[in-house]
Amino acid sequence: TLDDEQIGNAKAIIAATKKAGLPERAAVISIATSLQESKLENLGHLGDMNDHDSLGLFQQRPSSGWGTPEQITDPAYSTTAFLKGLRQVDGWQDMPLTQAAQTVQVSAYPDAYAQWEQQAADL
């Protein structure tokens, strides 16, 4: 069950995906990625629990060039940044969600995205 913040963030991801002119599959990949990375919560700095300088819905890192902390914690910006990375993945539309998400995110747990695919599609 998602709370109002999580639902609002899912809607922001969908809106950014539509604005980018990408198909529903891009929104599903984006939402599943955010569910894995932050449970669809726009996370700020978590102190000792933080993975380096990861922030926002997608746990993007300013030090890795994703944007400033203010940009990364803006749902529209962070989704657009994720989608820009996704567009650079050849054949992302036809590959398994985990492979597409992992190619953009470079996670230590690449197979973890799969558990969120159905919920992301439902959203």
Q: What is the signed CA dihedral for 29, 31, 35, 36, rounded to 10 degrees?
A: 20
Q: How many Cβ atoms are within 10 Å of 33's Cβ, its own excluded?
A: 29
Domain borders along the chain are: 4-122
Q: What's the pLDDT score for residue 45?
A: 60
Read off the pTM. Answer: 0.91
As a whole number, the mean pLDDT across the chain is: 91
What pLDDT, in 10s, does the model give residues 33-90? 999 999 999 987 655 555 567 899 999 988 889 999 999 999 999 999 999 999 999 9
DSSP assignments along 96-108, one per residue: -HHHHHHHHH--S
